[in-house]
Amino acid sequence: MADAETPQDYPKHRIGEGQCYRLLRLLSRVAVWSYFRRVTVISHETIPKQGPLLVAANHTNMVLDPAMLIATFPHYRPCHFWALARFFKIPVVGKLLLAGGVLPVDTKTHSNAKLFEHTLDCLGKGGVIALFPEGTSYTAPMHLPFKDGISWATFEYLTQQQSLNKQPLQLSIVPVGITYTTKNRWRSDVIIEYGNPIMVEAKDLDEFEKDPKTSVKDLTHRIALGVEKGTINAPDWETSNAATEARWILFGDANGIRLRDYVRISQSLIELFSPAALDDQLDPAPVLRDERQVLKNQLLICAKQLQRMKLTALDIRSYEKNQISQSQAFVRLLSTTAALVVQLPLFLPGLIINSPLYLLGRFVNRWEVYTESVAQDKVVFALTLAVPIYGYLFYVLWRSYAFSLIGWALATCLVPLFAWYHIRFVDKRYDLAKQVAASWRIFVAVTGLDQDRKDLQDMVKLRRWCYDQLQSIVSQLDQAGDPHARTIVECAQEKE
Examine residue 430 and state whether it is found in any structural domain, yes or no: no
Q: Are residues 171 and 211 in the same domain?
A: yes
Report yes or no: 61 and 178 within 8 Å, Cβ to Cβ. yes
What confidence score (pLDDT) does residue 390 get? 97
CA-nearest of 384, 383, 362 to 374 is: 362
Examine residue 331 and state whether it is found in any structural domain, yes or no: no
Examine residue 477 and state whether it is found in any structural domain, yes or no: no
What confidence score (pLDDT) does residue 11 get? 47
Q: Are residues 15 and 86 in the same domain?
A: yes
Examine residue 25 and state whether it is found in any structural domain, yes or no: yes
Q: Are residues 207 and 242 in the same domain?
A: no
Q: Are residues 107 and 215 in the same domain?
A: yes
Of 228, 263, 292, which residue sits at a domain end?
A: 228
Examine residue 379 and state whether it is found in any structural domain, yes or no: no
Q: Are residues 142 and 256 in the same domain?
A: no
Cis previous bond, 168, omega within 30: yes
Q: Which residues contact 215 (CB under 8 A, 6 or more apart)?
A: 151, 155, 204, 207, 208
Q: Are residues 35 and 103 in the same domain?
A: yes
Of 170, 204, 228, which residue sits at a domain end?
A: 228
Q: Are residues 294 and 177 in the same domain?
A: no
Given CA atoms 48, 50, 54, 59 in this order, what sign does their dihedral have?
positive
Q: Are residues 70 and 199 in the same domain?
A: yes
Report yes or no: 322 and 456 within 8 Å, Cβ to Cβ. no
Cβ burial, residue 112 (10 Å; 0-12/13-18/19+):
middle
Q: Are residues 119 and 155 in the same domain?
A: yes
What confidence score (pLDDT) does residue 85 get? 85
Q: Are residues 54 and 148 in the same domain?
A: yes
Query: Radius of gyration of the chain from Cα atoms?
Result: 26
What confidence score (pLDDT) does residue 322 get? 65
Give the CATH number, domain containing residue 24. Answer: 3.40.1130.10
What confidence score (pLDDT) does residue 13 get? 53
Report yes or no: 133 and 180 within 8 Å, Cβ to Cβ. no
Host domain of residue 184: 7-228
Q: Are residues 255 and 217 in the same domain?
A: no
Examine residue 111 and state whether it is found in any structural domain, yes or no: yes
Q: Whole-prediction pTM value?
A: 0.92
Q: How many CB atoms lie within 10 A of CB 238?
A: 17
Examine residue 470 and state whether it is found in any structural domain, yes or no: no
Of 204, 228, 252, which residue sits at a domain end?
A: 228
CA-nearest of 56, 62, 60, 80 to 70 is: 80
What is the chain's pLDDT, residue by residue, as a tens digit (496 residues)?
344 444 444 444 566 678 889 999 999 999 999 999 999 999 977 888 899 999 999 999 999 999 999 999 999 999 999 988 888 888 888 888 888 889 998 878 777 778 899 999 999 999 999 999 999 999 999 999 999 999 999 999 999 999 999 888 999 999 999 999 999 999 999 999 999 999 999 999 999 999 999 999 999 999 999 999 999 999 999 999 999 999 999 998 777 889 999 999 999 999 999 999 888 765 656 789 999 999 999 999 999 999 999 998 888 887 766 667 888 889 999 999 999 999 888 889 999 999 999 999 999 999 999 999 999 999 999 999 999 999 999 999 999 999 999 999 999 999 999 999 999 889 989 999 999 999 999 999 888 777 888 889 899 999 999 999 999 999 999 999 999 999 999 998 876 6
Q: Are strands 189-194 and 170-180 parallel, antiparallel or unpaired?
A: antiparallel
What confidence score (pLDDT) does residue 284 get? 57
Rounded Cα distance, 240 and 303, in Å: 11
Q: Are residues 124 and 182 in the same domain?
A: yes
Please tell me the total count of domains within the chain. Answer: 2
Examine residue 457 and state whether it is found in any structural domain, yes or no: no
